[in-house]
Structures are given as C-alpha cells and as structure tokens.
Amino acid sequence: MAAPLSYLGVGLDRPRVGVFEFTSCEGCQLQLVNNEATLLDFLNLIELVNFREAMSERSDDYDIALVEGSISRADEVARLKEIRTNARLLVALGSCACFGGVNQLKNRFGDLDWVKKKVYGDFPIASQEVRPLADFVAVDLMIYGCPPKKEEIEKVVTNLVVGKKVAMPKYPVCMECKANENICLFTLGEPCLGPITRAGCDAWCPNHRRGCWGCRGPAEAANVRELEAIMARHGFSREAMLDRLECFGGFSSQVAALRGQPRRPRKARSSKRS
Amino acid sequence: MKRSRTIQLNHLPRVEGHGNIHIRVQQGKVVEARWEVVETPRFFEAMLIGKLWENAPYLCGRICGICSIGHTLASIRAVENAFGIVPSEQTTTLRLLLKHMETLQSHILHLYFLAAPDFLGVGSLLALTQSHPTEVQRALRLKLLANDACDLIGGRRLHPTRTVVGGFTMLPEKAQLEHLAQRLAAAQEDLAAAADLFGGFTIPHFARETEFVSLKGDHDYPFIGGELISSDGVIKKEDEYQAMTNEYCAEGFTAKLSRLSRDSYAVGALARLNNNFGHLHPAARTVAKRLGLAPVNHNPFMANLAQLVECVHVVHDSLSLIKKLLRRKRQAPRVALKPRKGYGVGAVEVPRGILYHAYEFDQEGRIVKADCVIPTSQNHANIQHDLQALARQWAAQGQADADIELLAQMLVRAYDPCISCSVH
Ligand code: SF4
Ligand code: SF4
Ligand code: SF4
C-alpha cells in the first residue's frame, strides 16, 4: 500500500478546504467557479467546507485555507489570524493577498486622512494602510496574478492533494511570450513589464496585444535599471513605467528605490470640483 | 403567536461581499429591521488621482470581479466622452456583444449558484449536483458559453485585456464569431429549460411600491450610454447622473447610498425591464409573459425572473450583433486618441443595474477627480426599506424564525448584491 499522501506535513486525503476573502474584488474566488469544464471533478477532489460566496454551510474545521484579498482594517487582522490558527496550510490567492494588489495604491499618498476625506468627506470610516497577508501571518504558498489563472489554482490545489511540490516559474514573462511567437509590444509602440515580471501566466496580456503590468510581481533576476533603459529607448515616460510598476504592489521595493518619498498628486488639491 | 425574537445574520452567504441582516421583533411588532454593509472600502476614487488616463479602465475594472467588463466599459466610455472620441460602429457592436455575454455569465451565476438553492431547499449548488445533475450541467454549459465569448471578445473573462480607450487591441476572427453564433443558437434550448425550472418556483408574495432607475431606451433595450430615466418620470442626460444618484453616507453602511424622488430607488434587471419592457426582444417578452412578469412589477423577488428574461434577450440580440459584424467590412481595431482637459461620464447597465464612471482630466490627461456610482450602492437603501416592510408583514403573519431568516436572505439575494463593488 502506498504511504499516505502528505505535503508540508499535512495528510491529504480529500482535504477540507475553506475559501476566504478580505479587501478584494472577489475575482480570485470567482476564478474557482470559472472553470466550468472541470469544476465538478475538482470539487470531487476536495471537500469544500467553507466558501461563503457560494454556500450557506460554514465550518471552522479545514486543512487548506485559500485566502483572497489584502488587509486594510483591524477586524480583518483578527479574522486572518483566526483562519491561520484553524488552517494547516494557508494559501495567499491572488495579487491582493500576495502583495496588497491594486488596493495598495492608496498607500502611495502617505496620508490616509486625505484619502478618506477624498472619498467619504467628513463621514467617519475605518481603514488602515493596505498590507499583504504575509505581514500578519505565515503564508505557506502564494498563487500570483490579478486575476490568477484558473488552471493554476486547480493545479496548485491538486498538487497539494497528491503531495507534489508546487513550484512557480522564476523566469520572466518574455520567455513565455517569445515561445508563443507574439510580436513584441515594444515594437508595436506599447510599454510592457514582461522583461522583469514572473512568468506562469503564459504571457496572458501580450498574447492579446496588451502590455504586461506586472501583476505577478518580479521575476527572480528582475533588473529594473535595464527595463528603464528599454523604456527610454522606446520613448516611454518614466511615469508610464512607474504606473505599471506600482500597480499591484509586487514591485514595491523597486518603486520605493526609484521614487524616493511618497508623494501627493500634482493638481489634486487645486481641483475646483473637490 | 406574539413573542419577541432577534434574527442576526452576519456575513450573509451566497452574496458577493460582506453584509449583515438584523431583525428584532417584540410582542409581534418589528422594532428593528436593518440591512448593514460592513465591507472594507478600497478608495478607488482616491487612488486614481494624479494617474494618467490609461490607468482608469485598467484599475477600475478591478472594482469588481463579477462585472469587471462592465466597469471597464463604463470607464472607457467616460474617458472617450472626456476626450471627444467617437468609437467606430464595429467597436460599438463588439462592446455590446461583450456586455451581453457578461450579462449572461453573471445572471446565470446568480440564478443557479446563488438563488436556486433557496428555492430548492439546499445550501449550495454543491448539493444540487446530486439532486439536480441535469440542471447543474445546463448552468455550467451556459456559463461556459458566456465566459468563452468574453475571452474571445475581451481577451479574458475577468479583468479583460483587449478592451481599451479607442476600441480593441485585437479582434476576433470571422470563424470564431461564426462558431460563437452556433453555440448561442444552441443555448436557446437550455434557456427554455431554465425558464421551465424557474417558472416552477414559488416566488414569495410581497410587493412594495418603489422608484426604478435605468438607462432609457430609444429604439433598443439599453445597455451602453444614453439618457437616464426613472419610473417616477425623471429624465436626465448621461452627464447629469448626479441628479439621479444623490449619494449620501449613513451609519451602518461603508457604501454610499442613493435616493431620488422617494426614500429609495431600485436598479437592476427588474428596473430595466420595468422601464424598457417594449424594447425587449419578442422572444424575451414571450418568456416574461409566461413567467407572469409585466411592467410595472413591484415585487423585488421577481428580479430573479427578470434576469432570466434578460438572458433570453441578450442571446437573441447577440445573434443579430454577430450577423451584423460578419456582414460588414472589417475596420481598424482602434482609433487614435489625444488626451485633453475635460470631463466625461460613462453610464452602462451592468448585470446589477446602472453604473456610472465620471472623470475630470487636466491638459495632459491626468485624473484630477474620479467618481464611480455602483448599482448595488444605489440599491442598498431600497433593500433596507424592503426588509422593514417584509419583516412587518411576516411578524404580523406570525411566521417562524427560520422562515423569516430564509426569506430575508432571499430578499437580499434577489438584488444579486455586489457588495465589495458597492464599497469600491
Ligand atoms: S488579485 Fe485581482 S482578481 Fe484577485 S481579488 Fe485582487 S483585484 Fe480581484
Ligand atoms: S511583448 Fe512584453 S513580454 Fe512579450 S517579448 Fe515584448 S517585452 Fe517581453
Ligand atoms: S502578462 Fe503580466 S499583467 Fe498580464 S497576467 Fe501575466 S503577469 Fe499579469
């Protein structure tokens, strides 16, 4: 008889899975049910015990927690810690969970009160700086992407179930893009972060003639200086590059190095309509 | 039976986002019935400030995972209106087709995954895989078709890649469109069966008169741009949307709320259908009649059936749109653009109701001000008022707690709320 399957010490005989969300668009979870062709097989492989968005039943007894979203309020920190205590494996699902995602763009102003006022005026609203899950709890695995590939989510969970090691590519999107024989977007006049972004999405955006905005975060040997040179050579502004680099939070240290201080937007305060 | 009881339901399941229901009954009288929205805000309207125009559709699509296509299209329309860009007829047709496929995807998801389990007495679609395997297969087939179509036209079913200001980065091939038309034609049978299934459900008996707000159709059932209308007789231009939405903040809601002629109004499939019934495809009108749905219908639970009617409409209309695309000569995928100082509004009917994006730009096309008004935030006050009226009705009838709890959940679900979207 084969030895019982396990991964990182977790016995994996039809594991109990919970799906949770914090500050997010809930798109990552949607990707789970977007796999119509294989959904029923997939659901056979696991025991879904907590998935608020799709089912009424709830249980705190689960092996794997798939957690979507970033953390931006005190009650979320408490809820995340509780999930960490209950789960044997905690998987960060998507760029919000891994890096803060688009939500972290509000951090760049370095002035939370200004941000709140801009949207809610004087109405009191609780919110804190947006952080990824790993700033509060240990994260066992990250599934990158905004959105993550639905095939990848299934593959990662399946690998966990059968006890296979889950390895994410470390090379850049350009490798996949070239393998797909796409025309490089730089020659079509559009900026692209493919040279420095972690692959694994099969060059999803360049396949559709859309530049990569770096949603999966940096590839292993990401060389931002070199990207800067490529951008300059093709006549793209530093601003266009920074817009992409700071979009999902994966390149936050590189952006901080390039940008220096957090800044207030130009014009924002002189707007007549404010 | 007169007694005191409290129903407290935190983080309501089978809805998108986080909301609570709180009902308190004393001596058979409702002292409290509250719909509470506790979702964490994301501050999109602030995060856009200072960014170049091209960030708007890219970021704003991420307001919502379920209707990312609708957000992207509303955002693109606002930018195009600000810059004075008129998209080609090909672009307009493809965008509407894409919009239709998102509507189909989202409505099927809601009808089968979120709403149907209540009517069939189970907790999730998972249970239905055992008891109703044919229906589940049908739901997955329809959803897959819609999602594949979104991939084909928008590049990706979620956070689309091909949709840009000025048009599309790439176009679908002729053969792909022909294949899509075949699948859509075949889907009509599945939708007829869906109408049989949902037509057999017992819709809770309840009505509360309210105001319905949507786009105003001139010749067609409206989805993208145009005038705004309310069932109380208000008509406004697209860029006067704030006179329709009148947003305000209230305790217990991290989303903003809206009102117009009354304390609350409703948007969504039922509002669209009530305001534009005559523009529905004849086949959709036939299904509506069969389901007992005629304007003006004030039962919020009927929104489920209105979604089904819209599924029939969008499938028929998509077939005409594809025919039109195949007939015409192919044009360039996108038009050139030049940013300019200005203000633009984009109003789009997304699955849950009318959505507005509005931006103000400086000369270089940087965002100076951004405003997004979400369908679900417009519905929150209406849900609140419905919940109060319903609780009163049930308390008077002395219904069991479990029944009240279920019906209250079904009421909120009938609005198909997208709560994280409403607290963008
Ligand atoms: S990572 Fe992207 S798809 Fe996932 S929740 Fe965040 S914004 Fe949505
Ligand atoms: S399009 Fe982007 S990902 Fe593809 S080769 Fe060019 S830079 Fe690399
Ligand atoms: S190409 Fe870039 S932006 Fe697009 S999915 Fe891949 S990593 Fe994300």
Taking residues B367-379, what's their average pLDDT? Answer: 97
Give the Cα separation of B79 and B361 in Å (integer). Answer: 9
Q: Which of A12-26, A57-71, B288-302 has the highest mean pLDDT?
A: B288-302
The dihedral region occupied by A94, where left means phi > 0, alpha psi between -120 and 50, and beta the remainder, is: left
Per-residue pLDDT of A158-217, as tens digits, reads: 888 887 888 889 999 999 999 999 999 999 999 999 999 999 999 999 999 999 999 999
Model confidence over B10-33: pLDDT tens digits?
888 888 888 999 998 887 788 889
Average pLDDT over chain B, rounded to an integer: 94
* Model confidence pTM above 0.80: yes
Per-residue pLDDT band at A262 (split at 50, 70, 90): low
CA distance B58 to chain A (A): 10
Q: Give CA–CA dist B270/B214, Å, rounded.
A: 10
Q: Which CATH architecture has domain B44-422?
A: Orthogonal Bundle (1.10)
Report cis status (omega within 30 of 0) of the bond before A147: yes
pLDDT 10s digits, A99-149: 999 999 999 999 999 999 999 999 999 999 999 999 999 999 999 999 999
Predicted confidence at residue A34, as pLDDT, reads 84
- Four-residue CA torsion sign, B123, B128, B129, B130: positive
Given a cut of 70, is residue B239 above it in pLDDT? yes
Asked if the C-beta of B420 comes within 8 angstroms of chain A's C-beta atoms, the answer is yes
**B226: amino acid identity, one letter:** G
Q: How far is the CA of B139 from the centre of ligand 2 (A)?
A: 38
Longest dimension (CA), chain B: 71
Nearest to A47 by CA among A90, A6, A16: A16
Domain ranges of chain B: 44-422
User: Rounded to an integer, what distance in angstroms lies between the CA atom of residue B272 and that of residue B292?
Assistant: 16
Task: Choose the closest CB to A209 out of B64, B68, B170.
Answer: B170
User: Quick one: which of B386, B354, B383 has its CA closest to B17?
Assistant: B383
pLDDT tens-digit map of B193-230? 999 999 999 999 999 999 999 999 999 999 999 999 99
User: Per residue in B96-129, pLDDT tens?
Assistant: 999 999 999 999 999 999 999 999 988 888 888 8
Contacts of B400 (CB under 8 A, 6+ apart): none
Q: What is the distance between the terminal CA atoms of chain A, rounded to a whole angstrom?
A: 70
**Tokens 């004393």 label which residue?**
B26
Q: Are A243 and B55 within 8 A, CB to CB?
A: yes
Query: What confidence category does residue A271 fall into, taking pLDDT thresholds of 50, 70 and 90?
Result: very low
pLDDT at B98: 98
Q: What residue's CA is closest to ligand 2, atom 6?
A: A184
Break chain A into its structural domains and give their ranges.
5-162, 173-259
Q: Which long-range contacts (CB under 8 A, 24 or more apart) does B128-136 make?
A: B129/A40, B129/A43, B135/B193, B135/B197, B136/A40, B136/B112
Q: Tell whether ligand 2 has an atom less than 6 A from the beta carbon of residue A219.
A: no
What is the distance in A from the centroid of ligand 1 to the CA of A30? Answer: 10
The answer to whether B15 faces chain A, any CB pair under 8 Å, is: yes
Q: Is the pLDDT of residue A267 over 50?
A: no
A67-88 average pLDDT score:
96
pLDDT for A265 beyond 70? no
* pLDDT, position B62: 97
Residues B280, B281, B284, B289: is their CA dihedral positive or negative? positive
> Where does A5-162 sit in CATH, by number?
3.40.50.700
